[in-house]
Amino acid sequence: MKKKNLSVKKKILNFYSKKLDDPKIKKIYLKFKKNLSSHITNSFCVAISGGVDSIALSFLAKFYSIENNKKAYFFIVDHKLRKNSTTEANLVKKKLKSFQISSKILTIKKGKVSNNIQSFARYNRYKLIIKQSLAKNIDMILTAHHSDDLIENFFIRLLRGSGLRGLISFSKIKSKVKHDDKIHVLRPLIDISKKDLIYISKNTFNFNVNDPSNFNDKFLRAKVRKLISNLEKDGLTLNKFKLTLNNLSKSNYALDYFVKKNINDNSNYLKYKKSIILKDGFLKQPDEIVFRSFSEVIQKVGKKNTLTRGEKVVRLIKYLGINNNYSKKTLSGCIIQKIENSVIISPEKG
């Protein structure tokens, strides 16, 4: 390596390591490092929006990559949903470059936007990042979700009628991406507050862009933030919230145990036909056990990456519970037929 390149590399390392002289930044970095270390092998990518959360993540991830000699890719997604989105994406790219972070802008092609703008943006953001990740053999996407997001998502899902599994799913540091089971999302900031991330952002890169939708009351997330702010005044704390999540997680674990038991005891897998026969006892368990068990066998036979939408599963279970309903039904790539006291679930012929 040329002397000039060695000098630049040393200067970069000095800039980042010097920031850890701040005890608060060092404490947060060590927590971030601990959350990351058991999951990262060789390389990873970082999803960047330009907000204070992702700018703080950029600093932490870059220093981690330098310190541990890991390859890190940084992706900025231009959603094309706001007038200034492209200008902002280019600005973020330029600013990151000044801190020796090379990034790539991924642009969502203009198309018909669904009624749920934020859901549309999230789906397409992951779609683009996953495509890049697969091309570079990356299996881990780092996102800037933090403890405030954890509480917000709980209330959002609660208001949308999510079940127990949905309410606690976001609390995991690592989870599979719905669009591709080869890729995982890692949330190394999930136990770090937004307040702390603002501190890091301000005292390192001292730059961020603001998304006006974060303050727009037409979006549910903005309304939930106001709700949480009021609850905090009445004593809601992260520790109390985590205690609740922990209790819910224990309940979910117990349900998962009985789901597995129901599938093992009351179903048979016909390997040569790639079908599953449900015995009479399968549908005679408590409602939640039946719902989860049925969802899982449908997913297995249909070879889907995600579980089928809940209301469709509930309707089909009710149908199968009625005597003399023997006509075939289809759902998620499966053919379902009741034969006497049993149910056969077979794959649809493609």
Give the integer Cα–Cα distance in Å for 173 and 1: 38
> For the chain, what is the mean pLDDT?
87
What does 245-269 look like in DSSP terms, one character per residue? HHHHHHHHHHHHHHHHHHHHHHEEE
pTM of the model: 0.79
Q: Which of the two residues, 81 and 165, has the higher pLDDT score? A: 165
pLDDT on residue 157:
86
pLDDT band at 180 (very low <50, low <70, confident <90, very high): low
CA distance 243 to 125: 32
Say how many CA atoms lie within 13 Å of 56 toward its Cβ: 25
pLDDT per residue as tens digits for the range 284-306: 999 999 999 999 999 899 988 66
Distance, first Cα to last Cα, the chain: 55
Helix (H, G, I), strand (E, B) or coil at 207: coil
Q: What is the largest CA-CA distance in the chain?
A: 82
Report the alpha-carbon distance of residue 291 to residue 310 in Å, rounded. Answer: 8
How many helices and strands (H and E) does the chain possess? 12, 11
pLDDT in tens, 184-221: 899 999 999 999 999 999 999 999 998 666 666 677 88
Q: In this structure, are strands 267-270 and 180-186 parallel, antiparallel, or unpaired? A: unpaired
Residue 38, phi then psi, degrees to nearest 5: -80, -5
Describe the strand order of the beta sheet including 43-48 as a list of residue ranges. 103-107, 71-78, 43-48, 140-142, 180-186, 174-177
Domains and CATH numbers, the chain: 3-222 (3.40.50.620), 245-347 (no CATH)
E strands within 220-310? 267-270, 275-278
